[in-house]
Amino acid sequence: MDKRKTLIFYENEAKSEDHQKKMYTMQKGVHKYWNYYLHNTRRKCIEELLKIKKGDSFIEIGCAEGEYLINAEAKGARTSGVDIAVNYLKKVPSKFNRIRADANALPFKDRVFDWVLCSEVLEHLHNPEDAVFEIDRVCKGKALISVPTEEHYYLTFLDKHLQREGHIQRFTINRLEGIIAQTNLKIKKIRAVSVIFNKERRSLFYRQEISPIKLKVLMLLDRILSKVFPYNRRGIQTILLLKKS
């Protein structure tokens, strides 16, 4: 998928669906419990790590409809959202500072944001290293990056599915750490998402109904284990809390 096709892909995606609502609410279909579990566990982990204070400057790269912008504003932050797709930015409430830009070339000066969030974006980019360098450049405080990192996740039929979802990069935690090592950002915390459900155990979500209470208990257990070595390096997705040195 070249850059022109990538832009068309996300413009069309933004037209056809409410992407974040699809991730964070229970949808119909065989994967509904798994999708709800995975995306909401990641969101909870990110919210726990985002220690935003009133007056902080906050930017989300790849903001889609602006879910995290809304949460940051509620904590008193001055918010900006960047996305490459105009149709996504149209869905972000107009009170926010909305900027159409490429993650590899952010239109901001150096060291301007207290918080930079880039969640589930790098795997969609042709040059993710350049995006991380841009995060480093505009950050003056802390940054959060999350990406899929489960290697065998890509070695199944899901590989074609993920490509249909726009995933054009494969990450391991070692690759991610190698990119970060080339910046002025230092890793302060590592969190994993879905450490208790490996490839085989995931079938639990496909073969039975799961009560809301059981889902919440499983998500809480996942977040607890995600903080403990070595489980924090074994998730389907990895979240890094970074600090500018």
Query: Which residues on neighbouring strands pair with residue 147, listed in sequence order?
Result: 238
pLDDT greater than 90 at residue 244: yes
The least confident of 28-32, 131-135, 201-205 is 201-205
Contact 87, 94 (CB under 8 A): no
Q: What's residue 150's pLDDT?
A: 64
Domain total of the chain: 1
pLDDT tens-place string over residues 222-236: 889 888 888 888 888
What is the per-residue pLDDT across 50-60, written as a single tens digit (0 to 9) for each? 999 999 999 99
Residue among 6, 233, 224, 49 at smallest CA distance from 141: 49
Q: What is the pLDDT of residue 208?
A: 65
Q: What pLDDT is attached to residue 185? A: 98
- pLDDT tens digits, 141-172: 999 999 988 654 444 444 444 455 678 888 98
CA distances from 128 to 9, 32, 89, 131, 231 (A): 18, 29, 21, 5, 25
Which residues, in sequence order, are CB contacts of 164 under 8 Å at separation 6+?
A: none
Please state, in angstroms and rounded to a whole number, the distance separating the CA atoms of residues 219 and 204: 14
Report pTM: 0.88
Residue 112 belongs to what domain range? 3-244
pLDDT tier for residue 9 given thresholds of 50, 70 and 90: confident
Helix pair angle (67-74, 32-49), 10° resolution: 40
Beta carbons within 8 Å of 152's beta carbon, 6+ residues apart:
199
Helices (H), 32-155: 32-49, 67-74, 86-89, 128-138
Q: What is the mean pLDDT of residues 40-56?
A: 94
Q: What is the pLDDT of residue 32?
A: 75
For CA atoms 83, 233, 169, 20, the dihedral sign is negative
Mean pLDDT score, 97-124: 96
Task: Indicate which CATH number applies to the domain containing 101.
Answer: 3.40.50.150
pLDDT tens digits, 63-106: 999 999 999 999 999 999 999 999 999 999 999 999 999 999 99
Average model confidence (pLDDT) across the chain: 86
What is the C-alpha separation between 11 and 86, in angstroms, rounded? 7
Whether omega before 148 lies within 30 degrees of 0, making that bond cis, reads: no
Instruction: Please choose, from the candidates 80, 147, 160, the residue with its C-alpha nearest in 3D space to the C-alpha of residue 114.
Output: 80
For 202, which DSSP code? G
Percent of the chain topping pLDDT 70: 87
Q: Give the integer Cα–Cα distance in Å for 110 and 113.
A: 9
Q: How many beta carbons lie within 10 A of that of residue 1, not counting itself?
A: 14
